[in-house]
A and B are shown apart, each in its own frame.
Chain A
Amino acid sequence: MSTDPMAEIKASFFVECDELLESLQDALTDMDEGNYDSETINVVFRAVHSIKGGAGAFGLDALVAFAHRYETVMDEVRSGRLEIDHDSLKLFFHTADFLADQVSAARDGLPEPDGSEACLQELEALMGDALPAPVEEDVSDFQPMGLSLDLGITDAEFGDFGLPSLDDGASENDAAWSLTFTPSDALYASGNDPAHLLRTLRELGDVTVRCDLTALPEFDALDTPQSYLSWHATLPGELDESDIREVFDFVEDVCTLELTRETQTTPEADDNLSLADLAPQVEAPPNSVAPTDIVPTEPPESEPNNTAPADNPAAAPAPVTPPLKGAPQANATAEPGATVRVDLERIDRLVNLVGELVINQAMLAQSVAEAGLPQNSKVMTGLEAFMMLTRDIQDSVMMIRAQPVKPLFQRMGRIVREASAAVAKEVRLRTEGEATEVDKTVIERLADPLTHMIRNAVDHGLETPDIREAAGKPREGVITLSAQHRSGRVVIEITDDGAGINRKKVLEKAISKGLVPPEANLSDGEIDNLLFLPGFSTADQISALSGRGVGMDVVRSSIQALGGRIAITSEPGKGTRFSISLPLTLAVLDGMVINVAGETLVVPLSAIIETATLTSDDIRSLGPQTNVIHVRGDFVPLYDLGAELGYRAPKSSYEGGIVLLTAQDDGERSALVVDAIMEQRQVVIKGLQQSYGHIPGVAAATILGDGQIALILDPADLVQNASGRTRGFDIALAG
């Protein structure tokens, strides 16, 4: 084969790692909220364990080692030997963060992240004397066993070693475990290997492993990727069944696993374990497992081993466990629906093609319209059906790209932990609406600005614990990160319960920097918006994280580049809220096609509340060059699109003019005068940012049905950047 199958499998493993890390974070968050039930703890354990198992299959030793030590501690938690408290949970989170770094390092071939060892040592210190090191030591001592003959260990010694405790009148529950493991072809094909699994099995304690070569065909008949071998292992009876099964839970679907208690043990039977005779000796394993167990293709359910007791019927009914698939109920909880992983590039290509389809459909519709066919003609009805189909295809394709914001929010959890540790504040991150789905591209490009804002919230938004306490607040500050769909857009809010923006200080700083004239009389909202001015900072000194407001202009630019807007609201003593409104997708939008001064433009439908024709009663003058319109008891500022975009001078009269009433995220409304409304249609967004940068008031462009290019307007940005004639000084600052 020309492609490397292992590389593909490995890539798939790292995708799975991301999912496992996500469940790990979920479970830790649950625990942080006081949910210490065994299933939650098991999820943590399993996630770490599965990462370790997968990493072992690819020889990612550093990752295996890290996960193993983390897993060991979590095993202590699981067994109830280690109690969970606030501090230990913080460490679990911290270690999970490092585990994520380890995964990234393994994926990108980078060196181990700094601080990993320190983190693990801190974690292991939790266990104190409870560290289960002796078991580990025993394992290493025991390792030569598998090669007993080569190492000169006699069969008799082997027997003594293999089953040390069973002569001591062991109870049924202490009877040694007998395990038969038969990998299928698929196990190998999925990048796993018995070598790694058996090595992990050895780590459980005194384990003897024996390879069964009987099914091996002659060399000439060997089909190399096919699985012929199986393994028998004997494990100490005191081990938990779940611990043994967990070694294989990564491969449960691609192997046959038999796990039974030995019913009667005769240490002498081990004399049969002359390894040189292994191949012909399969029918005499050192336990009661029936010979049929080793037939690789035999389904586990048909195994008769539990009905084949030895010569002591009374002792025989030792607990016999079902095969792997029927076992841990917990496995079911992590089972996702049927999914298929698709290269993002393929989806992007599909999205582009659908975009072209929409354009072509629009062109076709235009041609049909120009042909003057009657509405009830077959062509027209067929075209309508085609348009609906196109819309359905488009929606479906967009849904493929849509992803929940949860992974992004989880990353922010880490930012909060790190940032709060850096400035010695106690901060809790609450997330809401994690399942809200947004276009993957939007999510990816949101990470940086969101990180910055979260850091700012920790560093500047929240007070120190002492100050909070003095103000009658809990010492622990809360940052809430929420996402929700609103009017065809997604709104992400970052809210802190801190002291709110110190507007006096902000204004003073702005004046001292010459950003605002000393005599300026700004509203609260306008002062808050000063934070978005380039280079603005109120920080008296730069902290470990950032200076106040540093980069908020960059944050705003990033949001704008996504076709989004950002707004601040703040209440002294209660906190600050940043609200980001984003389009759900960067590929298409429903737009209203309008005409202004002979130019065809598109206004996103989501921004328009209503349209109206102006009468002389509606229009009121406000100042020499400013008009407002009267809409149901409110006055709404009037903007002439033609004038604002520079197509023509303002009209002398707007009577009879058509206006689009638009709403911004903060609820502020504006009326945009247009010359004509052409139609409503779905348009494919063609970005202008890369070629032209940010054009005030313009979000993107599109290709219309007649092949004409039309600009897609961003009404909120347009209003915020509108000429000073209507809004005066503050317009230059706001937004």
Chain B
Amino acid sequence: MSALVLPAKLDLSTVADLGATISARKGGDLELDAGGVTLLGGLGLQVLAAAAAQWRQSGHSFCITPRSESFNAALDHLGVSLNDLQSTEAA
């Protein structure tokens, strides 16, 4: 399984593409590389959370690794847990 590298900024400017890219990987396990993420915004968070729920529902693995410090810090600021953004299998 090749990791999908997330763009540096997960905000208005990238979420449409991000949603489409993730959508194209439906039906299989998906690993996201957030090592280069410098900004996780609310819209980016929506895409990841909705995708995680979808993957969870379909029984596939959805995990985010590695994660940059900025990404982890943003999760903190946004008041979400990594579990919200990963499928149960990967949590």
| Chain A residues close to B by CB (< 8 Å) | 4-6, 59, 143-150, 183, 188-189, 191, 193-195, 198-199, 202, 208-211, 213, 216-220, 222, 224-225, 227-229, 231-233, 275-276, 278-279
Contacts and interface: CB of A to CB of B under 8 A. Distances in A.
Q: Decide if the interface of chain B is mainly helix, strand, loop or mixed.
A: helix
Interface in B11-54: 11-13, 15-16, 18-19, 22-23, 38-43, 45-47, 49-51, 53-54
Nearest to B83: A276
Contacts of A211: 45, 78-80, 84
Q: Decide if the interface of chain A is mainly helix, strand, loop or mixed.
A: mixed
Contact of B84 (A6, A191, A217, A278): A278
24 contacts: A5-B13, A146-B75, A146-B79, A147-B75, A147-B81, A148-B81, A149-B81, A149-B83, A188-B42, A191-B12, A193-B11, A193-B41, A194-B41, A195-B77, A198-B79, A199-B77, A209-B78, A216-B49, A217-B50, A222-B46, A224-B19, A225-B43, A275-B80, A276-B84
A189 B12 contact: yes
Contact of B82 (A147, A194, A213, A224): A147
B74 interface: yes
Contacts of B11: 6, 188, 193
Interface of B: 11-13, 15-16, 18-19, 22-23, 38-43, 45-47, 49-51, 53-54, 72-84, 91
Contacts of A224: 15-16, 18-19, 43, 46-47
Contact of A278 (B23, B75, B80, B91): B80
B77 A150 contact: no
A195 B79 contact: no
A191 B42 CA distance: 11
Contact of A195 (B40, B51, B53): B40
A59 B38 contact: yes
B80 A219 contact: no
Nearest to B91: A276
Among A143, A146, A188, A224, residue most surrounded by chain B Cβ atoms (within 10 Å): A224
A545 B80 CA distance: 56
A208 to B, nearest CB: 8
Contact of B16 (A144, A209, A225, A278): A225
Contacts of A231: 78-79
A346 B22 CA distance: 41
B77 A216 contact: no
A191 B11 CA distance: 9
A427 to B, nearest CB: 45
A232 B79 CA distance: 9
B75 A229 contact: no
A275 B81 contact: yes
Contacts of B42: 183, 188, 193-195, 227, 229
Nearest to B43: A188
A220 B54 contact: yes
B23 A219 contact: yes
B81 A276 contact: yes
Given A149-B83, A198-B77, A278-B84, A225 B50 contact: no
Nearest to A202: B77
A156 B28 CA distance: 37
A146 B83 contact: no
A629 to B, nearest CB: 72
A202 B76 CA distance: 10
A193 B13 CA distance: 12
Among B12, B39, B74, B91, residue most surrounded by chain A Cβ atoms (within 10 Å): B12
Given A147-B81, A189-B12, A213-B84, 13 more contacts: A4-B13, A188-B41, A198-B77, A198-B78, A210-B79, A218-B50, A220-B54, A222-B46, A232-B79, A276-B81, A278-B80, A278-B84, A279-B84
A231 B46 CA distance: 13
A5 B84 contact: no
A275 B76 CA distance: 12
Contacts of A217: 50
A224 B81 CA distance: 21
A218 B79 contact: no
Nearest to B51: A219
Contacts of B78: 146, 194-195, 198, 209, 211, 231
A267 B80 CA distance: 20
A275 B75 contact: no
Contacts of A150: 81-83
A276 B52 CA distance: 13
B84 to A, nearest CB: 6
Contacts of B72: 147
Contact of A219 (B53, B73, B81, B82): B53
B50 A219 contact: yes
B23 A220 contact: yes
Contacts of A218: 50, 53-54
Contacts of B75: 146-147
B76 A144 contact: yes
Contact of B77 (A6, A146, A183, A191): A146
Nearest to B41: A193
Contact of A229 (B19, B23, B45, B81): B45
A278 B41 CA distance: 19
A143 B54 CA distance: 29
Contacts of B50: 216-219, 222
B43 A146 contact: no
Nearest to B19: A224
Contacts of A189: 12
Contacts of B39: 59, 193, 195
A237 B86 CA distance: 35
B37 to A, nearest CB: 11
A208 B76 CA distance: 10
A193 B12 CA distance: 9
A247 to B, nearest CB: 12
Nearest to A232: B79
B76 A145 contact: yes
A143 B76 contact: yes
Contacts of B43: 188, 193, 224-225, 227
Contacts of B77: 146, 195, 198-199, 202, 209
B18 to A, nearest CB: 7
A183 B16 CA distance: 18
The 9 A-B residue pairs with the shortest CB-CB distance in the complex, in nearest-first order? A209-B79, A219-B54, A146-B76, A275-B81, A193-B41, A224-B15, A194-B42, A219-B50, A211-B79
